[in-house]
A and B are shown apart, each in its own frame.
Chain A
């Protein structure tokens, strides 16, 4: 796991580290899922065909917020946990995300924390030569 949770008076934050932005975005997704379900889905797999999701934004910060809010929407409405997420393409503030849709039920996968939204609050992207760090906070 290359993400950790950050303290916040009323909410919760995630700090992720990866060798590049693509990897950091995937880790950010895992962090969000762990906040919601209270457990890691990093090694989780399921028998389902991959689906893709395309998200366009106007800068990198928005791309993070928009991508994570899309994940939130999948969980909240379609009752899908996107497992084995992978970035197929990332260019011009557009991301193509591939994942296996795991249809969960609340008895086996109860919601640990209901997340209202992923926010721009204290959002940080630090890109070094060999490492990308993303920090984001969610409203709960």
Chain B
């Protein structure tokens, strides 16, 4: 396949590579990351995504891109709202998987003697959901309210503070949610999973702000050096997974009715305006609202632990971002303003200063972009830029991105070795299973600092702060 270098951080996959490509592909990477990306089917998947009816601009790959299902993980595709399609594979099975950063009023010295106890209590209070379910077992009408109201449900039920809403993407509620479009199977899978972490790469980490790159923006986000923060990474659990499964099946069958052919079955899609498309977007919004509440219940438990251990209730949300979602947004495409549906699968919204979607407090600064690292490595806070609006539909990377299979990772290191290595770095970990540790060792991932450097150098988001973990809770 022909891949052309545009700059040191940007490569083009010309549409001439395959007859089905409607637009070029663009990959943000440096030379070494590009080599890693070329090791699996990522490039092919970015090219396949360029076949979607109605796609505009480019099929985009972020520097953390790796092979996914249909779409690459770390992929962005915008489609014309009138002519385009919606593809559940462009959002992923974990709808509104995302990250939330909480900032405390504590500094490292305030917590260092209690880190082990803090990790133990957080592990106890936050169920993984892969064994013990959540503390809440919702009735079906209650679950419908969770999905319909988004974060307003948590505010009404005292799991959230009214001000929390301001600091969540879309203010914690996608407006077109309709729980009637979510199957009973999906509801049954999600009913006892609210407030649970899940397994895989999901985690809660206690971190300290180790380095500030942009003092002014960091100050605007309320971050300073040595501050204790908490990062939550999880999504919509079994409910979201089942929504994706249900609609992939439905769209796979319906595609022929619309004369749509795609090079990969996991790219199944239908026109946005079709009855199946509308139903999926309502179900997706419902699952997204469930995910906002999932991270909120974990926030509630984190706050309780900090209050009990450190007598502080100053644990505020810096920001909560989705990295598996589709959103209707306005962008400049081919020199004119266009309403598009932006699929972000393993990609984070990165809106610049002045964007009306941002809360008032961040509007002069830009959107906080939270990038989780792999287990035990750094995470980053970035800020959205105008260049992201110009080039990537206001999107950037979402994390480190795997390079090794779980099987290979397990062969590299035992759980005990991994725990010892973390302890040497001053990091305490508590996990439900040993495999949850070995499969997520940092060696199985790309270097998150390198990923972040690419988006920083490419200008599609800018570095603000680097966060170092001191405690990890894993499912």
Task: Tell whether, in the assembled complex, residue B245 and residue A69 are in contact, meaning their CB atoms are under 8 Å apart.
Answer: yes
- Known contacts A111-B199, A119-B69, A140-B200; decide if A12 and B241 are in contact (CB<8 Å): no
Docked CA distance A121–B245 (Å): 13
A92 at interface (Cβ–Cβ under 8 A)?
no
Residue in B closest to A107 when the chains form the complex, CB atoms: B131
Q: Are B238 and A38 in contact (CB under 8 A)?
A: no
Whether B266 pairs with A121 at a CB distance below 8 angstroms is yes
Task: Report B53-77 CB contacts with A as 1/0, cut-off 8 Å.
Answer: 0000000000000111110010000
Interface residue B219 (Cβ < 8 Å from any Cβ of A):
no
- Is the CB–CB distance between B433 and A10 below 8 Å? no
Minimum Cβ distance to chain B for residue A109 (Å): 9
B130 contacts the other chain (CB 8 A) = yes
Q: A12-B407, A76-B238, A139-B93 are in contact. Are A114 and B40 (CB under 8 A)?
A: no
**Interface of chain A residues 87 through 140 with chain B (CB within 8 A):** 106-107, 110-114, 116-117, 119-121, 123, 137, 139-140
Q: Interface segment, B135-143, B277-285, B377-385, B398-406?
A: B398-406
The answer to whether A121 and B198 have CB atoms under 8 Å apart is: no
A112→B433 contact, CB < 8 A = yes
Q: How far is the CA of A120 from the CA of B131 in the complex (A)?
A: 27
A112-B131 Cα distance, complex, nearest whole Å: 10
Instruction: For the complex, give the distance between the alpha carbons of A119 and B252 in Å.
Output: 12
Return chain B residues, CB-CB under 8 Å to A106.
130-132
Interface of A is mostly: loop
Q: Is B475 an interface residue (CB 8 A)?
A: yes
**CB < 8 Å neighbour of A139 from B40, B69, B188:** B69
Identify A77's interface contact among B130, B188, B264, B265, CB under 8 A.
Answer: B188
Which of B189, B252, B404 has the largest number of chain A CB atoms within 10 A?
B252
Interface string of B380-415 (1 = CB under 8 A from A): 000000000000000000000011111110000000
Q: How far is the CB of A33 from chain B (nearest CB, A)?
A: 15
B435 at the interface (CB under 8 A from A): yes
* Structural contact, B252 and A62, CB atoms closer than 8 A: yes
Whether B67 lies near A7 (C-beta < 8 A) is no
For B, the interface residue count at a CB cutoff of 8 angstroms equals 42
Q: In the complex, which residue of chain B has the Cβ closest to the Cβ of A114?
A: B199
Contacts of B6 in A (CB 8 A): none
Give how many A-B residue pairs fall within 8 Å (CB-CB).
95
Partner of A117, one of B40, B67, B93, B252: B93
Q: Indicate which residue in B70, B93, B405, B433 contacts A7 across the interface (CB closer than 8 Å).
A: B405
Please report the C-alpha to C-alpha distance between residue A7 and residue B403 in the assembled complex, in whole angstroms: 12
The interface bits of chain B over 234-255 (1 if a CB of A lies within 8 angstroms of the residue's CB, else 0) are 0000100110110011001100
**Is B320 an interface residue, CB under 8 A from the partner?**
no
Residues of B within 8 A of A110 (CB): 130-131, 432-433
For A11, the chain B residues whose CB sits under 8 A away are 406
Query: What CA separation (Å) do A137 and B40 show in the bound complex?
Result: 15
Structural contact, B265 and A61, CB atoms closer than 8 A: yes
Given the interface pairs A10-B68, A121-B266, the reply to whether A116 lies near B406 with Cβ below 8 Å is no
- How far, in angstroms, from A117 to B235 measured CA to CA in the complex? 15
B185 contacts chain A at the CB level, 8 A cutoff: yes
B70:A121 contact, CB within 8 angstroms: yes
Most buried by B among A7, A65, A114, A117: A114
**In this complex, what residue of A is CB-closest to B406?**
A12
**Distance of A76 Cα from B68 Cα, bound (Å):** 23
Instruction: Please judge, given known A-B contacts A12-B406, A12-B407, whether A111 and B130 are in contact too, CB under 8 Å.
Output: yes
Docked pose: A123 CA to B66 CA in angstroms:
18
A114 with B405, Cβ < 8 A, contacts A69-B245, A77-B189, A140-B200 known: no
Contacts of A12 in B (CB 8 A): 405-407
Q: Is B169 among interface residues, defined by CB-CB distance under 8 A?
A: no
CA–CA, A58 to B256, complex, Å? 13
With A119-B69, A119-B266 already in contact, the answer to whether A113 and B435 are too (CB < 8 A) is: yes
Report the minimal beta-carbon distance from A13 to chain B, rounded to whole angstroms. Answer: 10
Q: Which residues of A contact B200 (CB under 8 A)?
A: 113-114, 140
CB distance from A126 to the nearest CB of B (A): 17
User: Nearest chain A CB to B198's CB is how many angstroms away?
Assistant: 6
Q: How far is the CA of A121 from the CA of B402 in the complex (A)?
A: 17
Choose from A107, A116, A123 the contact partner of B93 (Cβ within 8 Å). Answer: A116
A77 and B13 alpha carbons, distance in the complex (Å): 43
| Residue of A5, A111, A140 with highest tally of chain B CB at under 10 A | A111
Q: How far is the CB of B357 from chain A (nearest CB, A)?
A: 29
Are B73 and A111 touching (Cβ within 8 A)?
Answer: no
The 4 closest A-B pairs by CB, nearest first: A106-B131, A120-B265, A116-B241, A7-B405
